[in-house]
Every structure is written in C-alpha cells, then in structure tokens.
Amino acid sequence: MNETVETLPSHRTIRKFENKPVPEDLMHTLFEVAMRTATSRATQNASIIRVKDQAKRQRLAEIGDQPYQAKAPEYLVFIADCARAAAVLQDLGHDPATAGSLDYFREGFTDAVLMCQNVASAAESLGLGTTMLGSILNQPAETIAVLNLPQYTFPVLGLVLGYPNQSPELKPRIPQDLRVMTDTYQAPVSWIDALAPYDQEMHRYYDLRSTNQREDTFTNQIVKKMGEFSHKDSLLTAALAAQGFHLG
C-alpha cells in the first residue's frame, strides 16, 4: 500500500512530546507544504503565526484550557489573512473594506484549514505527532490580542507538533456507510438506531483505553458538547466584526 494511504488513517492526537526541538530544515519543509496547499482563486488568504514566545504560548494554553499546549516543541496558529488583500486594494485606490466580505473570509478560512491539515499530514509522515487546536477560539478576542492580529485577519486553527512521547489507541470513527452518500443527502430512519453500534464501539474505547477512562458514548458527547459551546456564537460574532469582517 502507498505510504501516504497508510499514514493518513493512522492519525492519532498526540499530547505528550519528547523534549527535543524539531530541526529547522524540517520546519522549512512543512512551511513549504503549507505554501503549496490548494487555495481559493489563488488569493492565498491564509498565513501562519509561529508562536515561540513562552508567555504567549502559556496564555494560549490557558485560553484552550490545555496546559500541554505550552510545552509542545512547535506551536502554530493558522489564520484567515485578508489584511494583505486589504492593503493591496487600498494602495491601488480601491475600498479596503471589500476584504472584510463574507466571500473573502470564506476563502481565508478554508485556505487556513487546508493548510493546517496538509502540514499535520506531512508532519506525521515524517514521524512527528500533532494535535489540532480548535480551542484557540474559546476566547477569540483574547487570542487575537495575544497574537496582535490586525484588521481583516482571524485565527482559525492551532497546531502543536513535535516528536511523540506516547502512542495512544486509535479512536474509532463513524463508518463510511453513514457518512458517504450518493447524489443527495441520505439519512437513516433513526440516527440513534443507526449510531447504536458506533455508540457501543465508543463505549468500549472509553472504557478500555489506557488514560482518561470513563463511561461515555458518541451520542452522549454530541449532547454535552452542543451545550458547552453554544455560548461561543456571540463571542465569535463580536470578534469577527471587530476584525472588520461583516458576515451578515
């Protein structure tokens, strides 16, 4: 089997890293992977903040409520970056506020996500471990302040990486027949019934894994997480508006 196809389905979240740096030439390779990632209309409206300052790392870890983040050898934040386009528009006599449109933000957001996934996949193929961090948006305004992000930019995902110092179990996934559809959206008569076998698999996973064992299921996590994060809508909307993005 192709090495790439072997690596991608073996993805595991790594939260413990060896205490050694990632070589600079390897980081250069990963950044080049990011630069060559597919981009909407060739606008390249995404950039990377490489966070080296320990105080900034510590604050981001507090925002994410995950102390291990601050200890990772590399901490990257992928941002939607329409500030470059805004500057070009202004310098050429056009309205820079155009860069705050929904379409420009969508391009920057999707470009940032694609870059993050490509870098993570490339890193794992080279023997590194990674964790993606949606938690940087727990307090979006705080993350923006920590990174001194200008107007028309927005943090999308964080990524910590380094040489892994753990080998966690592979987490089960919803099977293909419930997520791959033909021609139109296809829903079962009852999602609860359709997900019952997966709930059982996840229950075994949580019960038997080597760390953080608990009684839990996938559907229970859906209910819990929707309740936890629904309050973030107002924080995100306010932070986006403050950065010059008008999505309404």
pLDDT in tens, 2-33: 778 888 888 888 999 999 999 999 999 999 99
- Amino acid sitting at position 133: L
Same domain, 150 and 184: no
Residue 213 has pLDDT above 80, yes or no: no
Does residue 57 sit in the same domain as residue 163?
Answer: yes
Output the pTM of the full model: 0.94
Residues 54 and 68: their CA atoms lie apart, in Å, by: 13
Where does the pLDDT of residue 233 fall: very low under 50, low under 70, confident under 90, or very high at 90 and above?
Answer: confident
Query: Where does a domain end: 150, 168, 186?
Result: 168
pLDDT of residue 169: 85
Helices (H), the chain: 3-7, 24-35, 54-64, 83-91, 102-125, 140-146, 191-194, 196-208, 218-229, 232-242
- 44-56 pLDDT, tens digit per residue, is 999 999 999 999 9
Among the three residues 168, 185, 207, which one is the final residue of a domain in this structure? 168
Range of the domain at 244: 170-248
Q: For the chain, how big is the Rg over CA atoms in Å?
A: 20
Q: By percentage, how much of the chain surpasses pLDDT 90? A: 80
pLDDT of 37 reads 98
- Residues 149 and 178 placed together within one structural domain of the fold: no
Question: Looking at the structure, do residues 242 and 153 belong to the same domain, yes or no?
Answer: no
Residues 42 and 123 placed together within one structural domain of the fold: yes
Q: Is 189 found in the same domain as 162?
A: no
Strand order in the sheet with 74-81: 46-50, 74-81, 153-162, 129-133
Same domain, yes or no: 10 and 79: yes
Of 168, 191, 220, the position where a domain reaches its end is 168
Q: Shortest CA distance to 98 belongs to which of 111, 89, 108, 106?
A: 89
CB contact at 8 A, 219 and 203? no
On average, the pLDDT of the chain sits at 93
State the pLDDT at residue 216: 85
- Does 108 share its domain with 210? no
Q: Where are the beta strands (DSSP E) in 122-169?
A: 129-133, 153-162
- Same domain assignment for residues 113 and 34: yes
Do both 200 and 150 map to the same domain? no
Same domain membership, residue 156 and residue 180: no
Q: Are strands 153-162 and 46-50 parallel, antiparallel or unpaired?
A: unpaired
Chain-centre distance of CA 246, in angstroms?
A: 22
Is the per-residue pLDDT at 136 higher than 70? Answer: yes
The CATH code of the domain that includes 12 is: 3.40.109.10
Q: Quick one: 139 and 235 in the same domain?
A: no
Q: What is the predicted pLDDT for the residue at 230?
A: 64
Report how many domains make up the chain. 2
The residue type of 129 is G
Question: What's residue 1's pLDDT?
Answer: 67
pLDDT digit string (tens) for 68-126? 999 999 999 999 999 999 999 999 999 999 999 999 999 999 999 999 999 999 999 99
Residue 229 has pLDDT above 80, yes or no: no
- CB atoms inside a 10 Å sphere around CB 235: 15
Quote the CA–CA distance of 30 and 53 in Å, as a whole number.
20
- Residues 203-231: what's their mean pLDDT? 80
Q: What is the DSSP string of 5-45?
A: HHHGGG--B---B-SSPPPHHHHHHHHHHHHTS--GGG---
- Return the DSSP state at 171: P
Residue 228: band (very low, low, confident or very high) from pLDDT cuts 50, 70, 90: low
